[in-house]
Structure 1
Amino acid sequence: MTALIVPGLPEARAANSPHAPAVSDARVSLTNRDFGELVRRASGHLADAGVARGDVVGLLLSNRVELVVAVFAAWRLGASVTPVNPALATPEVEFQTSDAGVRVLIVEPDADVAVRVPKISCDRLVEPRQGNEPDAVIVHGAEVALLIYTAGTTGRPKGVMTTHANIDAMTATFVEHFSFTETDHSLLVLPLFHANGVVLGTLSPLRAGGQATILGRFKPEAFFPAVEAHRPTYFSAVPAIYAMLTALPADVRPDTSSLRFGICGAAPMPADLIGRFERRFGVPIVEGYGLSETTTASAINPVDGLRKPGTVGPPLPGQRIRIVDADLRDVPSGQSGEVLIAGDVVMAGYLNRLEATADTIVDGWLRTGDIGRFDDDGYLQLVDRVKDMIIRGGENIYPKEIEAVIYSDTGVFEAAVIGRPHDILGEVPVAYLSFREGATTTVAHLDALLAAQLASVKRPVDVIVVDDVPKNPVGKIDKPTLRAMDAKTTAKA
C-alpha cells in the first residue's frame, strides 16, 4: 500500500523546514512550525467535541487560515470535512450539514447560525488547551477526505466523496504538470468551498514545499496590489475574474514579474479574453477542465509548450478521456460526443446516492454530461453541455434547484429557469413562469421566497411572467425555444 503524502504535510513540513512560510491571510502568517502546532491544537479541540474517525466536520467559513488548519486537524483524527459556502441561505446550510451527517460545524467568530448541529468558533479551534494532543491516526486511501457539494439536477445538491487517494493523485499530478517546487507560491482568490481552491490553490503548493496566501473576497482593484505585495508565482481564477481584471482602468500597470502563469477553469474562457489579459499584463494563461467529481482537473494546457486558447489542453498524466456517443461507444477522432473520464482522481461516488452514482460512473468511467471533441493535437475542446447547467462567474447553478423553490408557491403553474449570456459573469439565471388561474402570487413575493431559500448567486436576475411557457411536441418545457425567445427580447431592450 502506497503511503499517503497529503494528510501528514503539517508535521512533515514542520520537521523538515520549521521556519519556512506555510499559509497566510490578511491577519496572520504561519511558518511550518506554527502551522503544525495549530493543526495539533485544533485536532485536540475537535476530539474534545467528540470528533473521531469516520465523522464529518463542517466548515462554514470564509477564506481564512483557520479553514486550512481545520481541514488538516480533521484528517489527523481520521475525520472528513465538508466545506460549506458561507453565502448559502439557512435552509441550504441545514440541508448540507444534515445530509453529510456533520458532527460539529466550525463557524466564524460571533456567528449566529441557526442550524441544529454543535458549533465551534474558528477562534476557539486554535486556542491553547489543557492536556496532550491526540495522536495522529493513519488514514487509508479509500477513506473519504472531502465532501464537496455540487448542485444536483433533481434540485438537491449531492455530496461528492473525494478520497485521500484521489487527493494524493491529484496533487501529485499538479506538482508534476506545473513543475511546482518549494519556491512556488499560490495566491488564493477562489473560494475554499470549491475543490479548485482546496486542492490546486492550497494543497498542491504545500505538497511541493511551497506556500499559499489566502485572499478574502475578490475585488478587482485589490488584486494586483496583492500580487505586488505577496509576490506569488501563480493563481487560479474563473473567466469572470479575468474579465474584471482586463476592465481595470488603462493606467493600472502592475508589476507581475513574480507570476509564472495564471490558470483558468470552471467555465470556458473566450480566446480573445485570454489574449487581452496576456498582452496587457504579461502573464500566460493556461486553460483547463475538470469537475468536483474528478478532484479538480482532468485536462490542462501546458505552461511550457503548445498552449491553444479555445481548448482545455490534453489529458493530464494518469487520466484517460474518451469521447462517446449516446450508447457510450467511442466516436471517430475529431467528432463530438460526451466526455468520459477515468483515473485515480475519479470520486468514490455521491454520498448516500447509489442510483446517481451508478448513473454517473459506468464501468469505471465518469460521465461528465459535457460535450467535447479532440483536435489533431489531442487537445480537448468543449462544445456544449448535455445538461442545462448555468455557470455564473464560475459557480455551477442547476435550474431545477431554483425551479423547485418557485414551484413551492402553489400559485405557480409552470416555471423554467435558463441561462442568459452576460458579458462579465458568463451567464445569469432567468426565470420564466406562468401563474395558475386566480392565483394571487406576485413576482415580488417570489423574489422574497427565492431570497429566503437560495444563495444570492442562484437567484434569477429576472422573473418574467408569461401566459404559457413554451413546450415541445411531447409536452415538455422547451428550453432551447425559451433561450431563443429570451435572446430576442434582450436584444430589443
Structure 2
Amino acid sequence: MNLSSQLRDTAKVSAEKVAYYFMGQSSTYAELDEAITKFASGLAKLGVKQGDHIALLLGNSPQFIISFYGALRLGATVIPVNPIYTADEIGYILNNGDVKVVVGLDMMIPLAEKVHTLLPTVERYIICETEHNGLNQKGMANLSVYPKLKSFTDVISSGDLSFQDAILHDDDTAVILYTSGTTGKPKGAMLTHKNLYSNAKDVGDYLNMNNDDRVITTLPMFHVFCLTVALNAPLLRGATLLIVPKFSPKEIFQVAKNYKATVFAGVPTMYNFLYQYPEGNPEDLKTLRLCISGGASLPVSLLNNFEKKFNVLISEGYGLSEASPVTCFNPLDRPRKPGSIGTSIINVETKVVNELGEEVPHGVVGELIVRGPNVMKGYYKMPEETAAVLKNGWLYTGDMARMDEEGYFYIVDRKKDLIIVGGYNVYPREVEEVLYDHPDIVEAVVLGVPDPNQGEAVHAYVVSKNPSLTDVDIISYCKEHLAKYKVPSSVFFLEELPKNTTGKILRRALKAKVSQIV
C-alpha cells in the first residue's frame, strides 16, 4: 500500500466526500483523484518517467496536493522546496537533487529565465496560473517565448483517466526532503513510499483521526510536519482539509469557526500568536477536539495558558525529516505529561543512549535514537553523512533527551546547542522555560557565547510586552529559579525573534543578528 493507491481507494468509497476547502472553493475526493490521475498522465506525455525527480515550489494550495500525489502516482520522486528561498538556495537543491521538472508559481518565470542555463537537468517548468497567485493572462501568453515552460492547467487538460498507475515498491524513493542545513549545505533525506505511508497511517491511528475530522492545514505543505500530520494522515483517513495559504491568528479563528474545525496542527510560535491575539474568542475554537504541537519544544507555561483559555487539549510530539517525521506523541488514551514529547507511536522504537550507543538508565540524559518503518533510507548522494546517523538500524537524532519510568521522553536540547559554563552543562530549554514563565515575556531564546573566564556564557534574547522591563529584572527573576551557573549573564531585548516559514526560531540567524549587539 502507498499514499497514492490509498487515496484512490478512498475516492471510490467516499466519492462525494469533501477532500478540501480552499479560499471559498472545495473539491470532493472523486474530483481530487481525477485531477491527480490526469496530472500524472500529463506529466507522462511530457516525457516524465518513473524515477525522475520533480521539485515543487508551491505554497499551501490544491496544486500542491495534485502535483504531489500526481508525481507519486507516476512513480516520480518529489522534492518539496520552500518557494521563498533565494535563487542560490533553490539552485543548489535543484542541482543537487537532479531535478527534471519544476512545478511552481508565476514568480518562478523570471527565476527560470535567469538561472535555467545553470540547471542543465531541468527540462520543464510547470507554472500554476490560479487567480490566487497572481498569474494573469498576459503572463501566460509569454509562455510561448520559453519552450521549457508549461501551464499547470494545460498539463492536466492534456492528461486522461485511462492512465495506468506505476508499479511502486516499498523501498522506492518517494520524496527527498532537504533539511534546513544548520551546518553546511542542506542534506536530502530520501523517504520511501513505505516510510511515508507507514508514518501517515500510524500518526492517523495514534491521534484517532477519522473521516469526520476537519483539519486546519496552515503549516507549510512543503515542510515534513505538515506533509504527514496535516496532509497525508488526514487524507488517508478520509478527513477534510481546511487549507489556509498563510498562517494568521485572525484567519485561523475564522476558519475554525466557519468550518467547525476539529484538529489544528502548529508550531509553538503559532500557539503563542493565537494565545496573544487580542480578538481571539474561545467560542470560535469550541469544535476543536485536538491541537497538535511539534517542530520545536512547547514551553509548559504556554501549553497550560492556551489550554486553560481555549479549553482544548494540546498533544505535543516530536519528529525529524529523517523519520518522515513523527516518532513520539503524547498519548490520548492515558495521562499526558506537559513538557514531554510523549511516548513512541505505533511501530516506532525510541531509546536514549550514551556516546557508546548503550542505553542509559531512566532519568539520565543521552542522545535520542529511533528505528522503525518511517526511518529514511539515507541522504541523497551523501554516503558518509548517511553512515554518521544510521547505525545498526537506528537513526541518531542529535537531540539530547531523557526517559522517565513510564516511557515518556523529554527533549533536553539539541546536542550542538548545549552550553558549557565552567564545566557545567546548561541546556537552553531549561532556561527558556523559566523565561516563558515570566508574565511580561512573550518570546525568549537562550544561546551560548564565548567567555574568556567560563568557556561560555548564557545570553538571553527576549521579546517583552512591558517596555519598562529591564535586564536587571529578568536576571533577578532567573536567580530565583535557576542555579547560579544557569542564570543569563546578559539579556537583550528584540522586537521579534527571527523565524523560518514554519515559525521555528532560527538560532543560527539570531547568532548572526545579535553578534552586532554583543
**1:364 maps to 2:361:** no
Shift of 1:84: 0.5
Q: 1:309 and 1:122, CA in 2 relative to 1: closer, same or farther beyond 3 A?
A: same
For 2:93, what is the secondary structure of its paired residue? helix
**1:129 maps to 2:157:** yes
**In the alignment, which of 85, 89, 92 is matched to residue 82 of structure 2?**
85
Counting aligned pairs with the same residue, the percent is: 31
Q: 1:464 and 1:137, CA in 2 relative to 1: closer, same or farther beyond 3 A?
A: closer
Q: 1:241 and 1:154, CA in 2 relative to 1: closer, same or farther beyond 3 A?
A: closer
Deviations 1:374-429 (A, max 9, x none): 112210011121124999xxxxxxx9xxxxxxxxxxxxxxxx9x9964459xxxxx
Distance 2:54 2:44 in 1: 11
Distance 2:204 2:515 in 1: 51
Shift of 1:322: 1.4
1:11 aligns with 8
**In the alignment, which of 354, 367, 379 is matched to residue 338 of structure 1?**
367
2:196 aligns with 167
Please list every run of 5 or more consecutive structure 2 residues that lacks an aligned counterpart in the other structure.
117-121, 130-150, 419-427, 430-446, 448-455, 465-504
1:215 aligns with 244
Contact kept, 8 Å, 1:10 with 1:39, in 2: the verdict is no
1:403 aligns with none
1:176 aligns with 205
1:185 aligns with 214
**1:230 maps to 2:259:** yes
Distance 1:109 1:9 in 2: 31
Number of matched residues?
Answer: 412
> What is the aligned-residue RMSD (CA, Å)?
2.6
* 1:2-401 correspondence runs (5 A): 4-26=1-23, 28-109=25-106, 111-112=108-109, 113-114=111-112, 115-116=115-116, 117=122, 118-123=124-129, 124-127=151-154, 128-130=156-158, 132-133=160-161, 134-249=163-278, 252-388=281-417
Distance 1:48 1:319 in 2: 40
Shift of 1:463: 4.1
One-letter amino acid of the structure 2 residue matched with residue 120 of structure 1: I
Distance 2:332 2:303 in 1: 14
One-letter amino acid of the structure 2 residue matched with residue 316 of structure 1: I
One-letter amino acid of the structure 1 residue matched with residue 152 of structure 2: L
Distance 1:219 1:56 in 2: 33
One-letter amino acid of the structure 2 residue matched with residue 143 of structure 1: D
Contact kept, 8 Å, 2:11 with 2:29, in 1: the verdict is yes
For 1:235, what is the secondary structure of its paired residue? strand
Q: 1:98 and 1:263, CA in 2 relative to 1: closer, same or farther beyond 3 A?
A: same
Q: 1:373 and 1:259, CA in 2 relative to 1: closer, same or farther beyond 3 A?
A: same
Please list every run of 5 or more consecutive structure 1 residues that lacks an aligned counterpart in the other structure.
392-398, 400-415, 425-455, 467-485
Q: 1:311 and 1:86, CA in 2 relative to 1: closer, same or farther beyond 3 A?
A: same
Shift of 1:12: 1.6
Distance 1:188 1:354 in 2: 35
Contact kept, 8 Å, 2:347 with 2:372, in 1: the verdict is yes
Distance 1:267 1:90 in 2: 27
Name whichever structure is richer in helix by fraction. Answer: 2
Deviations 1:179-225 (A, max 9, x none): 12211121111001111111110111111111212101111222111
Deviations 1:123-170 (A, max 9, x none): 432445346453111211101111111023541001111110011211
Deviations 1:429-482 (A, max 9, x none): xxxxxxxxxxxxxxxxxxxxxxxxxxx97755864668xxxxxxxxxxxxxxxx
